[in-house]
Amino acid sequence: MVHKVAVIGAGPCGLTSVKACLDEGMEPTCFESSDDMGGLWKFKEVSEPNRASIYRSLTINVWKEMMCYSDYPIPADYPNYMHHSKILKYFRMYADHFKLLQYIRFQTKVKSVKQRPDFSRTGQWDVVTETRDGYEENHIFDAIICCTGHFNYPNLPLKDFPGIETFEGKYFHSWDYKGPEDMHGKRVVVIGIGNSGGDIAVEGSRVAEQVYLSTRSGAWVIRQVSDNGLPVDRFNTRFVHIMFRLLPMRFLNWLGEKKLNSMYDHAMYGLKPKHRLFSQIPVINDDLPFRILSGSVIVKPNIKEISGSTVVFDDGSTAENVDLIVFATGYNYDFPYLPKNAIYKSGHRIGLYKHVFPPNLEQPTLAIVGFIHSDGAIMPQAEMQARFVTRVFKGDKKLPSNQAMIKAVENDTKKIAKNYVVSKLTPLQVDLVEYMDDLAKDIGVQPNLLWLFLTDFPLFKKVLWGPVTAYQYRLMGPGKWEGARKAIFTQYDPFILHTLSFAVCFLIKLSLTFMAGGAAIYYIHRNPTTISTLVSKLRPQSV
């Protein structure tokens, strides 16, 4: 029986893991090497080694209703897209509300986690920690939850850029970027067009003499503000998810790309990527197209070589007198405190059953929470993982055999490679709704649409056609929250709710059209002579 659980890291994943342990009657101890909670969202003027880092102006690119925990809504007066300081305040309120602080040991680093000699029988772990003063402690825990994320180890591939050693200016990784102060009047090259690269290029272009944005493969760029001024996240609905299962992906890619190109032609802007829209998470940036249009950001292909202060690109063009290069080239990932035999490799990624449990251990008492990447925020996904993990620890959910889990992991790896563009830096992609529903089904909290249709039709409409917020997973089953229904009905303010009615009417009409069309196709398929019989009746009768 698992009782004592070590939670490593007090970021958003660690906080919800502590709460999940308490909900299941366990005793968690959370170790946090920093002096505060928040993980990635705790801004520091100087980046700390082996810790995630953000820049001063960072604002989340996910609508607040899609990023909050399932039983603690973000305050209504907070903006739809929050600055990192407000996100940190929300985490503090969450910790205060559920009384989590007493279980967190700050300024305590986890040095090592090892199986005990009797692990095959007990599943227990030896954990060595170190305080800021260098004092070491030994602990024994029944289970471990790792919540240290995958933005801690910046990838700086200098060997891929011939001549970088001759560069006369300054260069650094986006992990070290805090603001545009060093860019005033400078000529800057930003390498990489992910969300960080796009943000840094835009922010730098407001003060720099010139910014060049170098991209190897391009990107689809979408806006946070969509039609009618609503958050783009509103399209992340169950209805849309059903359409993605029914309609051909080639058609969906064509439709989505057509919509994006109607706002600005990606080929004309130099942004058009080699991949299709839904095979990689798009860049979310409302300002980048205008900065390109105004000439303050010039999009360039991959860098061929660097010579002194000159950067040569693959198309033969150059950027002269470059003062600064920012490498927005992603992150490596590692869990240096874990034993090597606890890590199962599958392709480019660390193989985890349900993206949580190592499949090769004798006892399921080690879990990794938050080590995932999707088209949604990490908070609700980590919360769902933590709820799943603690039910496994408690014994309410039994995992398959090691052989079955390894097979499932390998199938996941193939599925990810088939559906998404993956590399050693981006091997973690999953579909948000599909993944959340998969875990929710195991926990017993997946919304039952048929039951809602029969018993609570107004709520059914919200769950089917509204955004898939985490509140939906508190409507029924273990951990049911009485406030979930109200939270779903009040996730839009009155103005947005009025505007949304038009979208809901459109979706209702569209769904009825698909239902009618599907029924007609099914009937004709079962009765192939229908059309010919109908046509014969329409022919004029011969005299």
For the residues of 382-443, what is the DSSP string, one character each? Answer: HHHHHHHHHHHHHTSS----HHHHHHHHHHHHHHHHHHS---SS---B--HHHHHHHHHHHH
11 token code pair? 């970021």
pLDDT band at 255; cut points 50, 70, 90: very high
Asked if residue 201 belongs to a domain, the reply is yes
399-415 burial code (b ≥16 CB/10 A, e <16)? eeebeebbebbeebbee
Query: Is it the case that residue 529 has pLDDT exceeding 70?
Result: no
Which H, E and C letters describe 372-390, residue by residue? Answer: CECCCCHHHHHHHHHHHHH
Task: Mark whether 381 and 361 lie in a shared domain.
Answer: yes
Q: How far is Cα 523 from Cα 515, in angstroms, rounded to an integer?
A: 12
Task: Mark whether 238 and 187 lie in a shared domain.
Answer: yes
DSSP code per residue over 240-279: HHHHHHHS-HHHHHHHHHHHHHHHS-TTTTT---SS-GGG
pLDDT band at 525; cut points 50, 70, 90: low
Asked if residue 369 belongs to a domain, the reply is yes
Mean pLDDT throughout 223-227? 82
* pLDDT, tens digit (0-9, with 9 covering 90-100), for 77-97: 999 999 999 999 999 999 999
pLDDT band at 494; cut points 50, 70, 90: very low
DSSP code per residue over 51-89: S----TT-B-SS-GGGTSBTTBPPPTTS-SS-BHHHHHH
Task: Mark whether 73 and 130 lie in a shared domain.
Answer: yes
Asked if residue 461 belongs to a domain, the reply is no
Per-residue model confidence (pLDDT) at position 229 = 76
pLDDT band at 378; cut points 50, 70, 90: very high
Query: Is it the case that residue 504 has pLDDT exceeding 80?
Result: no
Query: Is it the case that residue 541 has pLDDT exceeding 60?
Result: no
Task: Mark whether 301 and 172 lie in a shared domain.
Answer: yes
Mean pLDDT throughout 19-35? 96
- DSSP, collapsed to helix, strand or coil, labels residue 305 as strand
Asked if residue 480 belongs to a domain, the reply is no
Task: Mark whether 88 and 135 lie in a shared domain.
Answer: yes
Asked whether the whole model's pTM tops 0.95, one would answer no
pLDDT, greater one: 539 or 454: 454
pLDDT, greater one: 212 or 282: 212
Mean pLDDT throughout 27-38? 94
pLDDT band at 514; cut points 50, 70, 90: low
DSSP code per residue over 169-217: SEEEEGGG---GGGGTT-EEEEE--SHHHHHHHHHHHTTSSEEEEE-SS
Task: Mark whether 358 and 404 lie in a shared domain.
Answer: yes
pLDDT, greater one: 421 or 288: 288
Per-residue model confidence (pLDDT) at position 517 = 54
Q: Of 294-303, 314-323, 440-449, 518-527, where does mean pLDDT reach its minimum?
A: 518-527
Task: Mark whether 133 and 43 lie in a shared domain.
Answer: yes
> C-alpha distances in angstroms, 531 versus 147, 213, 539?
60, 57, 13
pLDDT band at 518; cut points 50, 70, 90: low
Task: Mark whether 325 and 419 lie in a shared domain.
Answer: no
pLDDT band at 418; cut points 50, 70, 90: confident
Asked if residue 487 belongs to a domain, the reply is no
Q: In which residue are the tokens 């998404």 written?
A: 420
Query: Is it the case that residue 447 has pLDDT exceeding 80?
Result: yes
pLDDT, greater one: 505 or 105: 105
CATH number of residue 337's parent domain:
3.50.50.60
pLDDT, greater one: 114 or 39: 114
Domain boundary (280, 310, 329) is at 329
Query: Is it the case that residue 505 has pLDDT exceeding 70?
Result: no
Asked if residue 314 belongs to a domain, the reply is yes
Q: How far is Cα 424 from Cα 159, in angstroms, rounded to an integer?
A: 16
pLDDT band at 113; cut points 50, 70, 90: very high
Per-residue model confidence (pLDDT) at position 409 = 95
Mean pLDDT throughout 203-224? 95
Domain boundary (301, 329, 357) is at 329
Mean pLDDT throughout 220-246? 86
Q: Of 337-351, 375-389, 411-425, 494-508, where does mean pLDDT reach its minimum?
A: 494-508
Task: Mark whether 129 and 183 lie in a shared domain.
Answer: no
Asked if residue 401 belongs to a domain, the reply is yes
- CA 202 and chain centroid, separation: 22
Task: Mark whether 166 and 263 lie in a shared domain.
Answer: yes
Per-residue model confidence (pLDDT) at position 405 = 97
Task: Mark whether 10 and 128 lie in a shared domain.
Answer: yes
Per-residue model confidence (pLDDT) at position 338 = 96
Per-residue model confidence (pLDDT) at position 404 = 97
Query: Is it the case that residue 291 has pLDDT exceeding 90?
Result: yes
Task: Mark whether 234 and 257 lie in a shared domain.
Answer: yes
Number of domains in the chain: 3
Asked if residue 494 belongs to a domain, the reply is no
**Bridge partners (DSSP) listed for residue 312:** 305, 318
* pLDDT, tens digit (0-9, with 9 covering 90-100), for 132-190: 999 999 999 999 999 998 888 999 999 999 999 999 999 999 999 999 999 999 999 99
Per-residue model confidence (pLDDT) at position 515 = 56
Mean pLDDT throughout 217-239? 85
Domain boundary (420, 445, 470) is at 445
Q: Which range marks the domain in which residue 515 is found?
A: 502-537
